[in-house]
Amino acid sequence: MLDIIANGKDLSFEQAYELFDAMLNESEIKIAAYLAAMQAKNYTAEEIAGLAKAMRDKALEVDFGIVADTCGTGGDGFATINVSTASSLLLSCFVRVAKHGNFSVTSKSGSADVLRELGIEIELPPKKAQRCIEKTNFAFLLAPNYHPALRKIMPIRRELGIRTIFNVLGPLANPANPAYQLVGVYSSDLVGKIANALKILGVKKALVVHGDGLDEVSPSSETIVAEVGKTVEIYKICPEDFGITKTRTIPCNSAKKSARRILKVFAGVMNEDANFVLVNASAALCACKIASDFKEGVEIVKNAIFEGDVLAKVREVRDVSKEA
């Protein structure tokens, strides 16, 4: 299939599904060629969905029932606190969350790095993850452990040093098959594609977001949103839609600092970081149909923080993950 991709032709869902298996049996040079050719051609929703489905089918099997996930592509080039991880912990106060993530690849702090700084065990095999989610509503699925088929591809991806389709596939390859998702993407060009890929994969509801260069909802500017349900609707939102004033995002250069700043927000410190968490956690609540609009989502998030529920959740997940 390399000749098809190199000639700029698109693959069908079925061909993309087969491509994943084909790559696993190729040489390192051929795999690198596939990745570079896909990146040069640019990928379609069908290709993204086909590869994501193949990754899910090759992953370690888990069955957590109906779950949600908040996972971004990374690669936006901004060093911010890991707000998707903060949102996932907050969201688990209300629904089951199977957080799919990894160590940092392009950012200063990946979800695994931040959770480890929070004292949460990140390397849970399926049975222990099952116990953790049943007791706490939260489980972390470390991508390299749940996708053993990728062990051959990951070093090649790092060696290439460029964005590849695997930056895009991460949020869609959760082996728990989340019914509800908030997905941040590093480019506005990806918003519609990822939304349509999620629709192909059968998600019940999802919001795909890109805000002012961030693979998150922006607290300072407009955010492009693709809402996935029976159809895909694309629109723009701004901080005022959440009932907050525009605030900048403060840079963060380490997982330790990210974890420390997230805990301050969870303790009720309402600063720039808090607004960043509020808008993204609110969007996650809307994606899960817990909040009917973004302003209501912010109020629900604030109540959970001020009642101490979120800090209690962090302690609960930390303790259960250690004993799991």
Ordered DSSP codes for 137-196: SEEEEEHHHH-GGGGGTHHHHHHH-S--HHHHHGGG--TT--SEEEEE-SSTHHHHHHHH
| The length of the chain, given as a count of residues | 324
Q: How far is CA 159 from the centre of its chain?
A: 23
**SS3 label, residue 305:** helix
- Give the amino acid at 44: T
Q: Minimal CA–CA distance to 264: which of 86, 97, 93?
A: 86
Write the CB contacts of 198 (distance below 8 Å, at least 6 apart in sequence): 49, 172, 181, 183, 206, 208, 228
Neighbours of 189 (CB within 10 A): 10
Q: What is the pLDDT of residue 14?
A: 98
What is the per-residue pLDDT for 105? 62
CA distance between the termini of the chain: 44
What pLDDT, on a 0 to 100 scale, did the predictor assign at position 172?
Answer: 97
pLDDT given at position 141 = 98
Nearest Cα residue to 190 out of 39, 5, 13, 45? 45
68-147+177-323 in CATH: which number? Answer: 3.40.1030.10
Output the pTM of the full model. 0.95
The values of phi and psi at residue 286, to 5°, are: -70, -40
Residue 67 φ then ψ, to 5°: -135, 165
Q: What pLDDT is recorded for position 302?
A: 99
Element (H, E) at 226: strand 223-228
CA 182 to chain centre: 7
DSSP 48-88: HHHHHHHHHHHSPP---SS-EEEEE---SS-----HHHHHH
Sign, CA torsion 267/270/272/274:
positive
* Confidence (pLDDT) at 36: 95
Beta bridge partners of residue 180, listed in sequence order: 68, 205
Residue pointed to by tokens 């996972």: 71
In the chain, where are the structural domains located?
68-147+177-323
* Residue 247: closest CA among 80, 115, 113, 118: 80
Could you list the pLDDT tens digit for every one of the 324 residues in the chain?
A: 899 999 999 999 999 999 999 999 999 999 999 999 999 999 999 999 999 999 999 999 999 999 999 999 876 567 899 999 999 999 999 999 999 998 876 556 789 999 999 999 999 999 999 999 999 999 999 999 999 999 999 899 889 988 889 989 999 999 999 999 999 999 999 999 999 999 999 999 999 999 999 999 999 999 999 999 999 999 999 999 999 999 999 999 899 999 999 999 999 999 999 999 999 999 999 999 999 999 999 999 999 999 999 999 999 999 999 995
